[in-house]
Each structure stands twice: as C-alpha cells, then as structure tokens.
Amino acid sequence: MKFFIDTANLEEIKEAYDLGILDGVTTNPSLMAKEGISGDENVKAHYKAICDIVDDKVSAEVIATDYEGMIREGEELAAISPKIVVKIPMIKDGLKAIKYFSSKGIRTNCTLIFSAGQAILAAKAGASYVSPFMGRLDDIGANGTDLIDQITAIYANYDFGTEVLAASVRGPKHVLECAELGADVITAPLKAILALLNHPLTDKGLAQFLADHKRVNEK
Ligand code: E4P
C-alpha cells in the first residue's frame, strides 16, 4: 500500500518524506491556492520544488477543461520532471486527454471520481490512477468506503493496470478501510497520516519504561 500526501505545502511534504513513509504527493488547484501559488511560472517552480523533495509520483492538475488545453498544460507539467503525474478531471475531454497521455507514456491521475462507472471509463482510457473522493461522499451522506470496495472489486476482475488512489481521506478509519479493501494508494493530509501513530497504551507504556529506568539509574 502506498501513501501519498495531499498538500502543496513544502514543509509538510518534507516532514512526511523524512518519516520514511511517503511514496508520492497529490495537489489540486485549491491546495496550490492555499499556499498562495499563482502564475504559470510560479506554479511550475513550485512543482519543481516538490519534485526535488520526493522520489516520484507528484500529481499536478491541469486547469483547462477542453481537450487541447489539457494536452498543452499536461505536456508543460510533464516537462517539469519525469516524477510528474498529470491530474485530469473526470470529464469527456478528460478521457480523451488520458488516452493521449497514456499513448505518450505520460502517467495520469483521473480525479473527481464519485462512481464506479467513472472509474471504469478512466481505466479503459488508460489512466495510471483513479482518485475516488471518500470524504466528500461521506459529507453528503453517501459512503466513500463502499465506493472503494466497488472499484477494487471491479478492477480485480480485469487487467486494467490502473491503480486505485483513495482520495479525500480524512483520518485513520478511512486509511484502515482502504488497507482492508486493497486500495493501492491513499492520499491524505499529514495530520490524518500522523493520526495513525497514536495509541494511549503506547504513551502509557513509554512513560512507564522511562520512569522505571530513571528510578534505578538515579539511586
Ligand atoms: C485528491 O487528489 C484531492 O486533492 C483531495 O484528496 C481532495 O480532498 P478533500 O475532499 O479533503 O479536499
């Protein structure tokens, strides 16, 4: 199971990388805006800075929604580094763009997946990753975990070569459900990833070990 971090914040990416658990990064236009990154050249420089931190797999999203625009932007993004995965929205022109990039050997991440049907289309077009948004489905009273279950079951029947990248992951429960269902990747903010660390018995046990050590060593 791979762990990606869902942020454009360089400090968070570095912190996660240094933990030794990071396999990649996902960004989106909202996350770039949160960091105040604007303008083509600044955006490219920021992606380059992310690529300089991590080993591979940095999802960079196109802004265009027409085929020609997505191809132009996607090629510019892919030229930044071989680590870039071009992130394309699940729309009709997006499918065509995925097919194009797949034929050029450029990896894609099809984003904003909310149904298994969309995941099938993205896989058939040749997406490297599909990103079903778990948290946003939960937010509207649907069930993000059920969608991961459905997509992993469908993909297991075929030989698509598309990885399930569970996105909009909000906490440890989502991560563990994805692990049980065999999702290939989860992407989450650092806070959600770090929440996996915590257990009260670990803290209690460590405090006891240190207290016992101190007791005999201070005699
Ligand atoms: C996926 O790649 C998206 O960037 C992301 O996971 C969206 O998550 P959110 O619903 O928490 O914004």
Domain residue limits, the chain:
2-217
Instruction: Give pLDDT, residue 218.
Output: 86
Phi/psi at 148 (nearest 5 deg)? -60, -40
- What pLDDT, in 10s, does the model give residues 179-211? 999 999 999 999 999 999 999 999 999 999 999
Closest atom of ligand 1 to 187 CA is 6
Q: Decide: 109 in ligand 1 pocket, CB within 6 A.
A: no
CATH number for region 2-217: 3.20.20.70
Residues 27, 131: Cα–Cα separation, whole Å:
12
> At CB < 8 A and 24+ separation, what contacts does 41-46 make?
44/76, 44/77, 44/80, 46/8
pTM given for the model: 0.96
**Quick check: is 191 catalytic?**
no
**Reported ipTM:** 0.97
Of all protein residues, whose CA lies closest to atom 10 belonging to ligand 1? Answer: 168
Would you state the torsion angle of the CA atoms of residues 57, 159, 99, 92, taken in this order, to the nearest 10 degrees? Answer: -100
195 DSSP assignment: G
- Burial of residue 136, with CB atoms counted within 10 A of its CB: 0-12 exposed, 13-18 middle, 19 or more buried: middle
Residues 169, 188: Cα–Cα separation, whole Å:
5
